[in-house]
Structure 1
Amino acid sequence: MRRLGMRLAPVAVTPHAHGCVLQVVRRSGCGQRECSPPTLPSKGAGMDPDVSLMAHCPPTGGLTQEQVQVEISAEYNRQVLHSHEQKIAAIWQQRKQEKPWLFNGAKFRIHSAQLEGGELLLLRLGLTCYKDYLGTNWAPEARLLQERGVADFGDSQAYLAEPLGVGAMLHTADDCFVFLRRSERVAEAAAQVDIPGGHAEPKAAVKGIPEDSIQVQHLSGELVVQEIFSSILGEIRDEVNVPLESLSRPLLLGIARNHRSAGRPSAEFYVRCKLTSEEVRQRYLIGGVEAHESTSISFVKREDVLKLEEDVESWRELCPSAKGAIQLYTLVRPSRAS
């Protein structure tokens, strides 16, 4: 599943004043614009301190795979702060003791994003790993690392792992969006609501090289873009248990930052599904490859998703990445025909 364990999500799993939740099913058991890493968010800046938008596509329906390019370089890797490296190792050992099923893995690290004329998005990526993510973005010292990054490089994210997640606003044939309640087994945001998602995997973009030996020189920008777009379809298949042939090509809505984890970025997509919410529900109950990562599914009408941020009680249940996906969808609003 996504995010190094799994991810949060929006919409409450019980009916609220706006009547957003249709079903809850539990399983038993523009010109060129530079979007570089943000400075430290100030309290009260923005409507929701949990989330901000690093980049959003123009309101023309989102960007296709052909409209996204990747520049991958070791220059975009995390800056190493030697005094913190032992803490990263200690945090990893502690998390492994708490949840022995966790495992390390290579991830793409986002440095910046540049939107050119509304037609092309350039992502500048390096490499990182899950262990470094838990030891930097999720470290108790994350705020200090951000301040040190500003002082040393003028970049609050310079010393952070910044793994690029992926998430999907999954739109059913009967005009509903899909949300999942995360299980207690996941490493992050346990028992919260999320959208389907996970991470693009460097190992899927290069063959014949052990994961812990992958370097940026082994990767091509074209194959990395392909993996980013295909990974979200794989996450939907594995988490929701719907077949790939029922899913449309993903459209990129933009990139959101989760400020509960020091600004961790996630690329949020719009994906249409040929199945109705009832058909999706039935397949979810059967269980997919990553069925253990969530405990229930819920469906929210599109009209209610567009005003979900106004429903304080429902909005509070959402994880930051899910909030970001909803905000991006509201801004871009791709049509079902796109």
Structure 2
Amino acid sequence: MDPDITLLLQCPEPGGWSQDRVQAELSPDNNRRPLPKHEPTIAAAWDSRRRDKPWLFNGAKFRFHSARRRGELLALRLGLTCYRDYLGTNWSPEAPALQRRGLEDLGDSQAYMADPLGVGAMMFTADHSFVFLRRSQEVAEAAGQVDIPGGHPEPKEAVRDVPEESIRLDHLSPELVVRELFASILGEIRDEVNIPLESLSSPLLLGIVRNNRSAGRASAEFYVRCGLTSEQVRERYLLGGAEAHESTNIIFISQQDVLKMEEASDMWHELCPSAKGAVKLYSLAHPNLD
């Protein structure tokens, strides 16, 4: 296994988990444990980032704690976190020490990490290729690397009339959280690649991957079919979507080449960890998908 990733969870059933087979278990017990001596470091790291990139904002995120199967269902244990805490823990130079401390104190290497849940999509075109994006040098994470469409589900989309900085777990319902998880990956494809939602299939959750470059941050990886050909997708991408600034180029890789990418492609070494995890999960699941 590539050291950049850990496969945390793989769907055991053909085709992946559909939305109706995923549940959210929300609890404050799933939040990051604060470590008093490290909290000033988090604040200082955020202030430094904001000076360099003043457009950054501290959005609320879902924190991934763990997952468990309940018969044919998948239960995701989620809390709340924020982008500021993510940069100050998972991306801190002290992240390895925080993970060791978590193991020593609580038997959980991630206990003191923000671990916001990400999402990514293996998007399969009508002519049997997958879509990858070259990330811009302006993004805060993995600048210049090759990724799949993705981002984060947003707690603010699962509540109404609550300011983002005031969102609490008791404002959220498990059903709306799961809906946002599945809707968010379609929204990311729309905004990053400029693909209309009506051209996309319902997402299937392939599994969850930990990004070891960012101290174990988890990402939910999906499979989504697109009704457009590669050339049609390219034309849409070049028109520019709402988040066109996040990437500089679109790359199409055939299904056959994706399946042997880890062993035989220089592209593998250019991939972000979450993209590596998505490719790996797809390679394990593809006989039941295509």
Residue 319 of structure 1 is matched in structure 2 by 272
The reply to whether residue 108 of structure 1 matches residue 62 of structure 2 is yes
2:270 and 2:106 map into 1 onto residues whose CA distance is 36
SS of the counterpart of 2:37?
Answer: helix
Asked if 1:155 is matched to 2:108, the reply is: yes
**Higher relative contact order (Cα pairs below 8 Å, separated by 6+ residues):** 1
Residues 205 and 223, structure 2, Cα contact 8 Å, conserved in 1: yes
User: Structure 2 length normalisation: TM-score?
Assistant: 0.98
Question: Amino acid of the residue matched to residue 143 of structure 2?
Answer: A
Q: Which runs of at least 4 in structure 1 moved beyond 3 Å after TM superposition? A: 334-337
**CA–CA separation in structure 2 for the residues paired with 1:229 and 1:125:** 15
CA distance in structure 2 between the aligned counterparts of 1:145 and 1:281, rounded to whole angstroms: 43
**Take 2:168 and 2:14, find their aligned partners in 1: how far apart are those partners?**
36
Q: Work out the CA distance in 2 between the residues paired with 1:270 and 1:335.
A: 11
Partner of 1:243: 196
Q: How does 1:227-306 map to 2 (within 5 A)?
A: 227-306=180-259
Alignment partner, residue 173 of structure 1: 126
- The residue aligned with 2:28 is 74
**In 1: Cα distance, 2:62 partner to 2:226 partner:** 27
Equivalent positions of 1:1-338 (< 5 A) are 47-117=1-71, 119-333=72-286, 335=288
Report SS of the residue matched to 2:38.
helix
Distance in 2, Cα, partners of 1:144 & 1:329: 33
1:241-299 deviation per Cα after TM superposition (whole angstroms, max 9, x unaligned):
01000000000000001000001100000000000000000000000000000000010
Query: Is the 1:62–1:251 Cα contact (8 Å) retained in structure 2?
Result: yes
Structure 2 stretches lacking a partner, 5+ long: none
Query: Shift of residue 336 of structure 1?
Result: 5.2
User: Is the contact between residue 60 and residue 156 of structure 2 (CA under 8 Å) also seen in structure 1?
Assistant: yes
Query: Is the 2:14–2:288 contact (alpha carbons within 8 Å) kept by the matching residues of 1?
Result: no
SS of the residue corresponding to residue 128 of structure 1 reads strand
1:116 deviation in Å?
Answer: 3.0
Q: Percent identity?
A: 68
Residue 330 (structure 1) shift: 1.0
Equivalent pairs counted in the alignment come to: 290
Relative to 1, partners in 2 of residues 1:334 and 1:85: Cα closer, same or farther, differing over 3 Å? farther
Contact 2:15–2:289 (Cα < 8 Å) also in 1: no
TM-score (norm 1): 0.84
Q: Counterpart of 2:60 in structure 1: which amino acid? A: A
Equivalent-residue separation in structure 1 for 2:13 and 2:132 (angstroms): 23
Q: Distance in 1 between matches of 2:197 and 2:255?
A: 22
**1:5-51 deviations in Å (ceiling 9; x for gaps):** xxxxxxxxxxxxxxxxxxxxxxxxxxxxxxxxxxxxxxxxxx21100
